[in-house]
A and B are shown apart, each in its own frame.
Chain A
């Protein structure tokens, strides 16, 4: 087989898998987003609705509120995850026994299923029997039970904290790899010149880590934008709509309200944002590899 055909033949299986699992569902959901389809009314799409679903979305206060909640979740969760992961990476970058063991233990949260994490934390934050309350009462005896997940601010804070707890180990490993790849002589030179650790980090290491940080921020933004499991299992979007993120709203609109056309339109608006981020990510990765 000639080389120019062989490359297509070798790519064909991967393309077929992508077509079946990615392109077809994407295309199908795009079609659904232009249809009127509520399962409660009909088992099949009821007719072409044009851009009516999209127009309704942009005037839907629930959707706009949910978009705001998603931003309120995404921004702190990305920032905190990166900061905590970097701090852990700096602490655990050396290859001493303590650091290696700590790294191994810290990876456990990342290895857990997100749904299981949500359920576990929901139990841990139970105001009557949860470990969080028990610990708080150990420090402050007689403290009243604090229903954290039913307070709008604390529920969002808990959701962000759990997300950071889940993702920080993954990015810690990424940053440890990046730190190991830094040229040692620049740091040594700064130390000889009398620079302190904080100054060395911000002025010598951070600029060199910036490409990795950018990719980490992009990736974490995508992960945060599509985070669903913990919302479903910990707060169900509540109290009220305080933690009703877009993925949760899409999920409930499709699977609780059966409004598949409307949910598909929502999913596409979110997908467009994520595709933009994914393109930026690709540009950074490919640009770096040139």
Chain B
């Protein structure tokens, strides 16, 4: 894994960087202004060499409109607020169209079938890529031509958009897992902050017994974008098992897989430290349970910190603690990361303009500007993808040290498997987990049934002709 930061190579005028990584926003505006003046004064050669982020000088795509399809997020609203900067540099107009996350995959599928190229840039989740790769433009040549250094991201983030050896996007939004807990309840119960799954169970039990608040909130329900699989993968990988073996056959029902799944459902069934509503909770319900004081801890993506400390939460910031995600195997097992890259639609009629936008929207300076701007709650966000941002003292200061903890959680993190039949396989697995926790189906039997279904799915993935 590339943990060392390699600075972005296209810095205008060689300005000095904050902590060696960041170009100050004031400097960027000066550079953009100077470039504009140079351009206007008839010095195209100077303008050519000075536009930031490897943007093409002389506005070759001016007048074009790039349509972007993405889910609502304060990070994206914050980008939208700053689009004028990009439009001024390139003359390209950008329009953001939001679709709720739950409907995003359906929308992408519908657009793919319609084939009318309504969207030029599309945000997608990494695990969808294998099935959707035919609808995205490989960007390897563009990345190479503009010398974009993908080592600026944690390896698990940059690898998320790579499928079958080709790159289909750049990470814009990404989530490591964190362990969130109620500082006040943990202090009241004398519980210590866990670093392993076993410690998590012990702490949750102690807090639950001493305070009467459910020890941990889980999200076991099916049908919310496979959310009940994320923590299952922590357990699965933590027990040395995996989804499939090297030959593509199901492996999740081997001895390690059974132990892992048992550990996952036993938080509720055997240890009884999970909130009783967990069988019906999706991720939002789980987060709300903690935000409304119904649960003392949860293991979830880092973005939820803003919900826990937001206006609608009953909690105050000093009640919410966070720590790196708990692990198995003496604290060395992988965590899960979910990544949302931006990709260029293969059906786009203006891929060049779309690539200009991609270069701008993924620049680390923009990211730093967004995560350090807390002036407006609607556009305030903690999500960052660049190693430099995550490690930056300034960014950490503005975000309660969350990025540094996230960086620790990302050590050894893995992303979800990229399979063409992932939606079917995930659907089978989320149903199996739902049956274990809701219907009381034995773990081994449920996993064996699921394995048979997955085998059927992979066998018929080549089609039904002949």
Q: Which residues of A contact B (CB under 8 A)?
A: 36, 38-43, 46-49, 52-53, 56, 62, 125-129, 144-145, 147-152, 235-242, 252, 255-258, 260-262
Q: Is the CB of A252 within 8 A of B464?
A: no
Closest chain B CB from A100 CB (angstroms): 39
State A112–B195 Cα separation when bound (angstroms): 48
Considering the chains assembled together, what is the distance between the CA atoms of A262 and B276 in angstroms? 38
Docked Cα-Cα span, A275 to B131, in Å, equals 34
CB of B90 closer than 8 Å to a CB of A: no
Using an 8 Å CB-CB cutoff, how does the interface string of B133-165 with A read, 1 for contact, 0 for none? 011000000000000000000000000000000
- Does B112 interact with chain A (Cβ within 8 Å)? yes
Q: Number of contacting residues on B, CB 8 A?
A: 46
Contacts of A144 in B (CB 8 A): 276
Contact A257 B427 (CB under 8 A): yes
Contacts A39-B113, A129-B288 given; does A148 touch B280 at CB 8 Å: yes
Q: Closest approach, in angstroms, between the C-beta of A248 and any C-beta of chain B?
A: 9
- The complex places the Cα of A41 from the Cα of B292 at a distance, in Å, of 45
Q: Is the CB of A128 within 8 A of B294?
A: yes
B427 touches A255 (CB 8 A): no
Checking A41, A53, A238, A256 against B434 with a beta-carbon cut-off of 8 angstroms, the contacting residue is A238
B9 contacts A by Cβ under 8 Å: no
CB closest residue in chain A, given B441 = A240
Contact B464–A53 (Cβ < 8 Å): yes
Q: Determine if A127 and B280 form an interchain contact, defined as CB atoms under 8 angstroms apart.
A: yes
Most buried by A among B134, B285, B431: B431
A35's closest neighbor in chain B, by CB? B465
Q: Are B465 and A49 in contact (CB under 8 A)?
A: yes
Q: How many A-B residue pairs have CB under 8 A?
A: 129
Whether A128 and B289, one on each chain, are in contact in the complex, defined by CB atoms closer than 8 angstroms, is yes
Those of B200-246 within 8 Å (CB) of chain A: 220-224
Cβ contacts B289-314/A at 8 Å (1 or 0 each): 10010100000000000000000000
Interface residues of B in 375-431 (CB under 8 A from A): 420-421, 423-424, 427, 431
Across the interface, which residues of A come within 8 angstroms of B465, CB to CB?
36, 46-49, 52
Q: Which residues of B contact A148 (CB under 8 A)?
A: 280
A49 proximity list for chain B (CB < 8 A): 463-465
Which applies to chain B's interface (DSSP): helix, strand, loop or mixed?
helix
Contacts A40-B130, A43-B134; is A261 near B276 (CB within 8 Å)? Answer: no
Interface membership of B442, Cβ < 8 A: no
* Closest beta carbon of chain A to B222's beta carbon, Å: 4
Nearest A-chain residue to B220, judged by Cβ: A150
Complex contacts, B278 vs chain A, CB 8 Å: 147
Q: Which residue of B is nearest A37, CB measured?
A: B463
Partner of A150, one of B109, B434, B453: B434
Q: Please name all residues of chain B whose beta carbon is closer than 8 Å to the beta carbon of A145 when the two chains form the complex.
A: 276-277
**B435 x A239 contact (CB < 8 A):** yes
Cross-chain contact A256 with B427 (CB below 8 angstroms)? yes
B330 within 8 A of A: no
State whether the Cβ of B106 lies closer than 8 Å to any Cβ in chain A. yes
Convert B102-113 into 0s and 1s, putting 1 for each residue whose CB lies closer than 8 angstroms to a CB of A. Answer: 000110011011
Interchain Cβ contacts under 8 Å between A and B, 22 examples: A38-B463, A39-B113, A42-B134, A43-B113, A47-B463, A127-B277, A128-B275, A129-B288, A147-B279, A148-B280, A150-B279, A150-B438, A151-B438, A236-B221, A236-B222, A238-B222, A239-B438, A240-B431, A240-B434, A255-B106, A255-B109, A256-B427
Distance from B443 Cβ to chain A, minimum over Cβ atoms (Å): 14
Query: Could you tell me if B438 and A238 are in contact, using CB atoms closer than 8 angstroms?
Result: yes
Q: Are B131 and A39 in contact (CB under 8 A)?
A: yes
A239–B439 CB distance below 8 A: yes
Contacts of A62 in B (CB 8 A): 453
Nearest Cβ distance between residue B113 and chain A, in whole angstroms? 7
Given contacts A36-B464, A49-B465, 11 further A-B contacts (CB under 8 A): A36-B463, A36-B465, A39-B131, A40-B421, A53-B464, A128-B275, A129-B288, A147-B277, A150-B438, A239-B435, A258-B131
- Is the Cβ of B294 less than 8 Å from the Cβ of A41? no
Which residue on chain A has the smallest CB distance to residue B134? A43
> Are B423 and A257 in touch, CB under 8 angstroms?
yes
A237 touches B464 (CB 8 A): no
- List residues 264-278 of chain B with CB under 8 A from any CB of chain A: 275-278
A residues within 8 A CB of B371? Answer: none
Asked whether any CB of chain A lies closer than 8 Å to the CB of B437, the reply is yes
Chain A nearest CB from B201 CB (Å) reads 21
Please indicate the chain A residues that have their CB under 8 angstroms from the CB of B437 in the complex: 150, 239
Are B420 and A147 interface neighbours, CB within 8 A?
no
Q: Which residues of B contact A (CB under 8 A)?
A: 105-106, 109-110, 112-113, 115, 130-132, 134-135, 220-224, 275-280, 285, 288-289, 292, 294, 420-421, 423-424, 427, 431, 434-435, 437-439, 441, 453, 460-461, 463-465
Q: Which residues of B contact A127 (CB under 8 A)?
A: 276-277, 280
Is the pair B276, A152 in contact by a Cβ cutoff of 8 Å? Answer: no
Q: How far is the CB of B454 from chain A (nearest CB, A)?
A: 13
Instruction: Tell me the minimal C-beta distance from A276 to chain B in angstroms.
Output: 27
Whether the Cβ atoms of B221 and A39 lie closer than 8 Å is: no
Which of B113, B224, B460 has most A Cβ within 10 Å? B113
Residues in chain A near residue B453, CB distance under 8 A: 62
Residues of A close to B109: CB separation below 8 A: 39, 255, 258
| A239–B434 touching, CB < 8 Å | yes
How far apart are A118's CB and chain B's nearest CB, in angstroms?
12
Which residues of B sit under 8 angstroms from A39, Cβ to Cβ? 109, 112-113, 131, 134
A230 CB to nearest chain B CB (Å): 12
CB of A185 to closest CB in B, whole Å = 55
For residue A244, give the distance in angstroms from its CB to the closest CB of chain B.
Answer: 8
Cross-interface CB contact of B427 among A38, A53, A147, A252, cutoff 8 Å: A252
Chain B residues contacting A257 (CB-CB under 8 Å) are 421, 423-424, 427
Question: Measured between C-beta atoms, what is the minimum distance from B215 to chain A in Å?
Answer: 14
Most buried by A among B223, B280, B435: B280
Contact A238 B431 (CB under 8 A): yes
**Bound-complex Cα distance A239 to B440 (A):** 11
Q: Which residues of A contact B224 (CB under 8 A)?
A: 236
Instruction: Chain B residues near A53: list those with CB within 8 A.
Output: 464
Distance in Å: Cβ of A26 to nearest Cβ of chain B: 17
In the assembled complex, the Cα of A203 lies from the Cα of B26 at a distance in Å of 87
Q: Within 8 Å CB of A236, what residues of B? A: 221-224
Whether A129 lies near B421 (C-beta < 8 A) is: no
| B106 with A152: CB separation less than 8 A | no
Given contacts A39-B112, A126-B277, A147-B280, contact A240 B435 (CB under 8 A): yes
The answer on a CB contact under 8 Å between A238 and B276 is: no
Task: Please measure, in the bound complex, the distance between the C-alpha atom of A266 and the C-alpha atom of B217, giving whole angstroms.
Answer: 38
Q: For B115, B220, B424, which residue has the most chain A Cβ atoms within 10 angstroms?
A: B424
